[in-house]
Amino acid sequence: MARRGITGLQGLAKLWPLFGLGALGGLLAYLAGLPMPFMLGAIAGAGAGVMVLEARHGAQDRRMPKPLREAFVSLIGIMIGASFSPELLAVMPGFWPSALAVIGFIAVSQVGGYWIMRGLGGYRPVDALYASMPGGLVEAAILGEQAGADGRLISVQHFIRIILVVFTVPLLFWLYTGAVVGSASGQGFGSASYGWRDVAWVIGLAPVGLALGRLTRLPAGHLMGPLILSAALHALGVVDVSAPPWMLHAAQLVVGVSLGAQFSGLTARVLLRGLGVGVVAVAYMLVVGLGFALALAPWLPASPVTMFLSFAPGGVTEMSLIALSLNTSPVVVSVHHLIRISCAVFVTQWMGRRLVGVAARR
């Protein structure tokens, strides 16, 4: 069973070195002009910090408390929802082909990922099935453990998937277009014209949206609850929020540190094995996602960039942040990823039952 994040003041004290190293990594990435500097730099800084600290002082759980991460993710949800407009609401029904195509993407990604895990990683069938699930880290770990899989292995493999996608996608855009993705480019969701009322709205709506996500039990509810609440209020013209750039930077930093802190308790051997398998699996899924995006884009009211981000198999929060930084329909991207995670759970459960049935007949 996966360990919970640390709690209490004494536990929180263990995070300060990681926040310091994450902030340093973000600053260096910003000065170097790298894409998504405050998130990618924080991942690198915090991840390196965890491994160094544990090499010197032994393994300790330095992962971020769940309520702290969810609080900042809820702010991201409010900021994403603020990009919603009546115009976007009018074109959303036009995305039904891509919503259906997500099911095909999941099936193709799952089958290919399964054989990569089996052939390259040598994983047991049940481990390979849930480790190759194209979305839903928590859901995959829970379902996998219920099916008799190694929950630790599944968690590591999905964590590596998210990290690789979060690093790779901004770098691909950077190499292909020559433009920096994220705050280093001067782009972002934040507006320089914000006021204290905008800050108050974002902070005030976040816990309401968080509660909404928990009540409705949505996948990634700590993001989707605030997002749906903010999108509805903006579409109805109730509020019009201009979020400050520093709030987006802070949210990127916290998300980055929380991902980097996941290196806690991982041995170099386990990490390197998972990384080798993950590189091949992620490359396969990104190629499949790009193929779906290029095939669908001409028939949809969205650019190939938006569709690629909608099919890239990263985390909902992280891919939404990248969409924010590119100023490319973050709501559309978030909705597609919500569908991806929901469908991935059902497809993997169906494949799991088939797998058990085949094993029983042998």
Question: Per mean pLDDT, which range of 122-136, 222-236, 341-355 is the poorest?
Answer: 341-355
Q: For residue 178, what pLDDT is reported?
A: 63
Please give the average per-residue pLDDT across 145-170, as a whole number.
Answer: 82
Please give the average per-residue pLDDT across 187-194, as a whole number.
Answer: 50
Q: For residue 287, what pLDDT is reported?
A: 95
Q: What is the pLDDT of residues 272-288, one digit of tens each?
A: 888 899 999 999 999 99
Q: Tell whether the model's pLDDT for residue 168 goes beyond 90.
A: no
Stated pTM of the model: 0.66
The structural domains of the chain, with segments of one domain joined by +, span: 65-361
Q: For residue 35, what pLDDT is reported?
A: 61
pLDDT level of residue 181 (50, 70, 90 thresholds): low
* Average pLDDT value over all residues in the chain: 79
Please give the average per-residue pLDDT across 69-78, as a whole number.
Answer: 85
SS (H, E, C) the chain: CCCCCCCHHHHHHCCHHHHHHHHHHHHHHHHCCCCCHHHHHHHHHHHHHHHHHHHHHCCCCCCCCHHHHHHHHHHHHHHHHCCCCHHHHHHHHHHHHHHHHHHHHHHHHHHHHHHHHHHCCCCCHHHHHHHCCCCCHHHHHHHHHHCCCCHHHHHHHHHHHHHHHHHHHHHHHHHHHCCCCCHHHCCCCCCCCCCHHHHHHHHHHHHHHHHHHHHHCCCCHHHHHHHHHHHHHHHCCCCCCCCCHHHHHHHHHHHHHHHHHHHCCCCHHHHHHHHHHHHHHHHHHHHHHHHHHHHHHHHCCCCHHHHHHHHCCCCHHHHHHHHHHHCCCHHHHHHHHHHHHHHHHHHHHHHHHHHHHHHHHC
